[in-house]
């Protein structure tokens, strides 16, 4: 009887638990097929909210063009995990994919967080198999060096959307959220700390820019023959 009551109390406690908010990043090279994974087409950024079990998930889909990848780091602090989409059929860019993934996982605000690798476009002729992708990306070495739990899921995002989405994508997302759940409090504390530090750094940079502009204006007033743009550049 005591055991039964304890189990009931445990179930009631879990039932009363509020939904956990989680932010995920979806990244990868341009044309990797990220926009086919049920996220609106992106040029630089898009956002999707969904409910997955006990989780309220926000996914930031960040554009993969070379000029856009520089903004990825602005979202690392608030991420609980990463979805990295790989074009399995693009052999010519596999080294670029490897280098980009390494740069992401080595960042101090990503290292240690769980990573889901979606080996997309498996429906195409000549697509690399799972084992080949792991080898080409040196994935095992990379995740071990950065202490990231990792799961790779071969998939074909074009097979379907929403409820008809490729089961591998659903399985991968469930794996990612389950691993986040195991250390939700710890990751949440890290996210809160990193986000606060990033905000403080951004405020500092904003004040420094404002100070440079102020000094540039003062110098411009003292030397009316020098364009203010030149003064700001010198500062």
Asked whether residue 28 is marked as a ligand-binding residue, the answer is: yes
Asked whether residue 172 is marked as a ligand-binding residue, the answer is: no
- Measured between alpha carbons, how far is 27 from 102 in angstroms, rounded to an integer? 12
Asked whether residue 120 is marked as a ligand-binding residue, the answer is: yes
Asked whether residue 113 is marked as a ligand-binding residue, the answer is: no
Question: In degrees rounded to 5, what are phi and psi of residue 71?
Answer: -85, -15
Asked whether residue 210 is marked as a ligand-binding residue, the answer is: no
Asked whether residue 98 is marked as a ligand-binding residue, the answer is: no
Asked whether residue 64 is marked as a ligand-binding residue, the answer is: yes
Asked whether residue 29 is marked as a ligand-binding residue, the answer is: yes
Asked whether residue 30 is marked as a ligand-binding residue, the answer is: yes
Asked whether residue 122 is marked as a ligand-binding residue, the answer is: yes
Q: Exposed, middle or buried, 171 (CB in 10 Å: 0-12/13-18/19+)?
A: middle
Asked whether residue 34 is marked as a ligand-binding residue, the answer is: yes
- Our CA dihedral for 33, 37, 39, 45, rounded to 10 degrees, sits at -40
Asked whether residue 31 is marked as a ligand-binding residue, the answer is: yes
Which residue ranges make up the annotated binding site? Answer: 28-35, 42, 64, 120-123
Which residue ranges make up the annotated binding site for GTP? Answer: 28-35, 64, 120-123
Which residue ranges make up the annotated binding site for Mg(2+)? Answer: 35, 42
């Amino acid at each position: 009887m005591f055991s039964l009551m304890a189990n009931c109390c445990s179930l009631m406690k879990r039932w009363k638990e509020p939904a956990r908010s989680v932010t995920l990043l979806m990244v990868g090279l341009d044309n990797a097929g990220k926009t086919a994974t049920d996220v609106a087409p992106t040029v630089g950024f898009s956002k999707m909210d969904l409910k997955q079990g006990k989780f309220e998930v926000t996914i930031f889909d960040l554009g993969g063009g070379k000029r856009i990848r520089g903004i990825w780091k602005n979202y690392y602090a608030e991420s609980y995990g990463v979805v990295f989409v790989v074009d399995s059929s693009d052999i010519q860019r596999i080294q670029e994919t490897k280098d980009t993934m390494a740069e992401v996982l080595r960042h101090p605000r990503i290292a240690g967080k769980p990573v889901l690798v979606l080996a997309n476009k498996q429906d195409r002729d000549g697509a690399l198999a799972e084992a080949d992708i792991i080898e080409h990306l040196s994935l095992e070495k990379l995740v071990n060096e950065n202490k990231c739990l990792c799961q790779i899921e071969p998939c074909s995002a074009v097979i379907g959307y929403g409820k008809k989405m490729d089961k591998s994508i659903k399985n991968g997302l469930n794996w990612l959220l389950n691993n986040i759940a195991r250390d939700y409090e710890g990751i949440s504390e890290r996210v809160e700390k990193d986000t606060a530090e990033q905000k403080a750094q951004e405020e500092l940079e904003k004040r420094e820019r404002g100070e440079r502009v102020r000094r540039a204006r003062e110098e411009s007033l003292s030397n009316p023959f020098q364009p203010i743009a030149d003064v700001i550049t010198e500062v």
